[in-house]
Amino acid sequence: MVRQRNATASAIMRAIVRQGPVGRKELAAATGVTFTTITKTVTELIELGALIEAARLTPKGAGRPVVPLDVPDKQRLVVGAHLHPESNSCGAFTLRGERIAWRTAAAKGRNHHERIEEAARLVEDVVNEAGVAAVLGVGVTTPWAEVFHRQPPPLVADVDGDELRAGLQERLPLPVRVEPNVRAMAVEHYWWGGAGDDVLTVLVGRSIRVAQMRGGELVWDRPDAGGLVSHLVVPGSEYPCDCGQVGCVKATCTDDALLQRAVDTGLLPEGALQRDLYPDEDTKGLRQLREARAQDLGRVIPLIMSLVAPAETTIRGRMGTPEEIATCVDAIRDRYRELVGREASVRYYEDQHRAFNWPQASAALALDHYLAAPLEHELDRATRTS
């Protein structure tokens, strides 16, 4: 019975977050749940403060006024944090993705334990500013997606996800969810970006990683399950990989691989950073590296698409000029058509205000966790705050 009540509450809350204010009859139609059950569950959610009744709407023609149901504004918030090599950032957001609070601080920790501590302090500050009673949960993203087989991690910013989660949960009486960047992007795109019900997200950066939302759920149900495509072989690539293969995605398409090639060929100096691949004053050599990478991605991403068969594919991450991005997307479409025999729905997601995207994507993780069992979360929350 409790499981069924949670499932019904989840269906109601998910429909309202995705569609906007919805009446009870519309919810019954959208969820396939009886009107009586909808009414009973909605009443419970309203009493707990998870839903509110919006202003009545008078339908055209005959009919009783509709009372739309909506999520509350600032009384229910989700917090998201991101650890960047140079800074930590954190924000609190409404369940519609509107930013309420924001803080950022330079990364001063010299090991991953110090980075976890400073991140925990920042999250704690934002939670206190937003009001602990209003916060439903915390989502955190970390910038490095690879699975570590040795210590120390490649960069100071690369913290252990389990230790990060434990450090936050020790300090905050809130659910904490830690995920790689691409999974947060996929979740945020679904809840706040207007994505469809079956979207593959491909993140291009220090690693190439994928996540797929299908029917409102991540296809791979654990942070370490699927998603990492480092050792798929790019057709035609001859770059050796440290795994012993030739032509791996990791050695061919990642920013780390491009950066190493740029340093080896003298295009960039020793000690250059990832951002130096995309300078304001561009050079022909860097453009050629990025254009070659665009073609390489155009050969390997269609292989992934043909395997998981998404309705849509979204490419994200910093990849170069608009022309280079268009080259990549066109190459993906052409190769997919050759492989599968039909057109692919592929687009590059233009990230606006990049500095704010990661905490918002992280906060979407907390939203997603809450919406999976909102009744359970609300009852736990009522116990904590009583």
Q: Are residues 107 and 219 in the same domain?
A: no
Q: Confirm whether 301 is domain-assigned.
A: yes
pLDDT above 50: residue 146: no
Q: Are residues 226 and 241 in the same domain?
A: yes
Last residue within a domain, chosen from 42, 70, 98: 70
Q: Are residues 104 and 214 in the same domain?
A: no
CATH of the domain at 307: 3.30.420.40
Q: Are residues 256 and 229 in the same domain?
A: yes
Residue bearing the bigger pLDDT, 143 or 319: 319
Q: Confirm whether 182 is domain-assigned.
A: no
Strands 99-106 and 198-204: unpaired
| Secondary structure in 3-state letters for 68-110 | CEECCCCCCEEEEEEECCCEEEEEEEECCCCEEEEEEEECCCC
Q: Confirm whether 27 is domain-assigned.
A: yes
**Segments of the chain assigned E as strands:** 52-53, 69-70, 77-83, 87-94, 99-106, 135-142, 176-180, 198-204, 208-214, 217-218, 312-316, 346-348
Last residue within a domain, chosen from 70, 89, 114: 70
The structure tokens 């608009």 sit at 322
**For the segment 294-304, what is each residue's pLDDT rounded down to a tens digit?**
999 999 999 99
Tell me what the mean pLDDT of segment 110-120 comes to.
85
Q: Are residues 207 and 227 in the same domain?
A: yes
How many domains in the chain? Answer: 3
Residues 335, 236: Cα–Cα separation, whole Å: 13
User: Residue 27 CA to chain centroid, in angstroms?
Assistant: 27
Residues 328, 347: Cα–Cα separation, whole Å: 10
Across 3-12, 44-53, 67-76, 104-113, least confident range: 104-113
Q: Are residues 229 and 163 in the same domain?
A: no
Q: Are residues 87 and 232 in the same domain?
A: no
Q: Confirm whether 187 is domain-assigned.
A: no
Residues 352, 284: Cα–Cα separation, whole Å: 26
Tell me what the mean pLDDT of segment 42-50 comes to.
94
Q: Considering the entire predicted model, what is its pTM?
A: 0.89
Query: What tokens does 265 get?
Result: 């060929």
240 near 220, Cβ under 8 Å? no
CATH of the domain at 14: 1.10.10.10
Q: Are residues 198 and 343 in the same domain?
A: yes
Last residue within a domain, chosen from 36, 70, 104: 70
Residues 352, 217: Cα–Cα separation, whole Å: 25
**Residue 180: per-residue pLDDT:** 85
Q: Are residues 22 and 150 in the same domain?
A: no
Q: Are residues 286 and 207 in the same domain?
A: yes
Strands 208-214 and 217-218: antiparallel
pLDDT-derived band at 3 (thresholds 50, 70, 90) equals: confident
pLDDT above 80: residue 30: yes
Residues 114, 235: Cα–Cα separation, whole Å: 42
**For the segment 54-107, what is each residue's pLDDT rounded down to a tens digit?**
876 555 555 567 789 999 988 999 999 998 878 889 999 999 999 999 999 998
Q: Confirm whether 236 is domain-assigned.
A: yes
**For the segment 221-278, what is each residue's pLDDT rounded down to a tens digit?**
665 555 678 899 999 999 999 989 999 999 999 999 999 999 999 999 998 988 899 9
Q: Confirm whether 322 is domain-assigned.
A: yes
Domain hosting 27: range is 2-70
Q: Are residues 63 and 108 in the same domain?
A: no
Q: Confirm whether 188 is domain-assigned.
A: no
In 10 A of CB 57, how many CB atoms?
11
Residues 214, 184: Cα–Cα separation, whole Å: 14
Q: Confirm whether 107 is domain-assigned.
A: yes
Q: Are residues 117 and 210 in the same domain?
A: no
In 10 A of CB 214, how many CB atoms?
17
Select from 169, 315, 341 the least CA-distant residue to 253. Answer: 315
Residues 185, 358: Cα–Cα separation, whole Å: 8
Select from 204, 177, 199 the least CA-distant residue to 368. Answer: 177
